[in-house]
Amino acid sequence: MNKPEFIQNIVDTMESNGYHTTQKQSAGFLEALQLVIRDAISKEEDITIPHCLKISVAKISSYIGRHPVTGEPMFVPERKYVRVKALTALKESLS
């Protein structure tokens, strides 16, 4: 599902639940959600979207690795990545 399809899906779901929203409002909501998540991740804060996802920053410690071509030992610095975990309610929707 691409972005326009996702926005239309939000509009359709909202209207089927008795709420009126436009595509422009739904697109604004999606942009705001993206900014909130981006700000939380930049501050290394966890964010939970209830009954859906938990987004957090995880770290991989530095270590001595092996150069893939020469085989010589090399230092690999610490790095961070975004971890997204599906919560139980979302996992249960698969079965």
pLDDT tens per residue across all 95 residues of the chain = 999 999 999 999 999 999 998 999 999 999 999 999 999 999 999 999 998 999 999 999 999 999 999 999 999 999 999 999 999 988 888 87
Please give the pLDDT value at position 93: 86
pLDDT of residue 91: 86
**Residues 50, 16: contact at Cβ < 8 Å?**
no
Output the CA angle 51-24-82, nearest 5 degrees: 40
Query: What's residue 89's pLDDT?
Result: 86
Cα–Cα dist 34/42, whole Å: 12
- Report pLDDT for 84: 95
Can you give the pLDDT at residue 76? Answer: 95
Q: Residue 58: its pLDDT value, please?
A: 96
